Amino acid sequence: MIHPRYIIPSIISILGLCIGISSIKFALNSQFDYAIIAITIASIIDTMDGRIARLIKGTSKFGAELDSLIDFINFGVAPAITVYIWILKDLGNAGWLLVLFHSVACCLRLARFNLVLQITNEKWREIFFTGVPSPAGAGILLLPLILSLSDFSPNYDYKKLAIIFIIASTFLMISKIPTYSLKGIKVSRPFLIFLLLLIATYFSFLINYPFNTLLVTGCFYLSLIPISFVHFKIIKKRSSKSTDSLISEDFI
């Protein structure tokens, strides 16, 4: 008999899948604000289910595979179709090709992530992802739509912005650019209360000013990409030096 602790994380993941797929229904009804909210909730659930599984010791290979499949639907398919229905459909076949490129890139990115997760042994790599993770890729793709729904929406050419951002998200997901991983962040007890207060403040802004908050979050994340790249190079250089010194000591 399967223990409930293995079932609970999968139930949470499937709930996220239902919410993610529902974003397509909202988009079909031209309710793009609800579509964005649904994908945002799905991304929050995606962040929580793995942590809950580790917390209750309910991790399993089935759960890991299920999580990847759900990520592909929620962040590779649903956001791309949402943007296509919003504005890319005006481009005809070219708009649909952009959707396909994004979805395929997300699939490849998830396959690579699963493979690297199995073979890597270097602890310092836990701080970084290789390329932008699929939820962040979806967020980058949706930034023009989020901008149009925010209070910062002047008369932009959203069609051009949508093309630029879907190409950017596609490239960033399949690239080898190192980006920060929240899983590698360790928080000491003295800063735990501060972190909880910060999270509560963020969610209060997210509830009251959802699209303004998501827009600022997306721009902040984009600004972190070059910082994470430089940080990765510094850590990798230090790691190489320490390895070289250990090898030298072995020969002395």
**Model confidence pLDDT, tens digit, residues 54-89:** 777 777 788 888 899 999 999 999 999 999 999 999
State residue 152's pLDDT score. 87
From the CA atom positions of the chain, what is the Rg in Å?
Answer: 20
Question: Is the residue at 120 inside a domain?
Answer: yes
- The percent of residues above 70 in pLDDT, for the chain, comes to 88
Question: Is the residue at 127 inside a domain?
Answer: yes
18 sits in which H/E element: helix 4-28
The CATH number of the domain where 12 resides is what?
Answer: 1.20.120.1760
How high is the mean pLDDT of the chain?
Answer: 87
Question: Is the residue at 202 inside a domain?
Answer: no
State residue 187's pLDDT score. 67
Average pLDDT over residues 83-107: 96
Question: Is the residue at 72 inside a domain?
Answer: yes
Opening angle at CA 164, ends 161 and 166, nearest 5? 105
Of residues 89 and 5, which shows the higher confidence score? Answer: 89
Give the chain's domain count. Answer: 1
Question: Is the residue at 222 inside a domain?
Answer: no
Backbone angles phi, psi at 180, to 5 degrees: -65, 140
Write the CB contacts of 188 (distance below 8 Å, at least 6 apart in sequence).
none
Average pLDDT over residues 232-247: 68
State residue 161's pLDDT score. 94
Question: Is the residue at 234 inside a domain?
Answer: no
CA–CA separation, 62 vs 9, rounded Å?
A: 11
- DSSP-derived 3-state class of residue 5: helix
Question: Is the residue at 16 inside a domain?
Answer: yes
State residue 251's pLDDT score. 39
Domain encompassing residue 176: 4-188
CA–CA separation, 242 vs 239, rounded Å?
A: 5
> Which range has the top average pLDDT, 153-162, 185-194, 198-207, 243-252?
198-207
Using pLDDT thresholds of 50, 70 and 90, give the confidence band for residue 119.
Answer: low
pLDDT at 190 over 80: no
- DSSP letters for 118-134: HH---GGGGGEEES--H
Of residues 233 and 140, which shows the higher confidence score? Answer: 140
Q: What is the pTM of this model?
A: 0.88
Range name among 32-46, 49-63, 110-124, 206-220 with the lowest pLDDT average: 110-124
Of residues 248 and 228, which shows the higher confidence score? Answer: 228
Question: Is the residue at 115 inside a domain?
Answer: yes
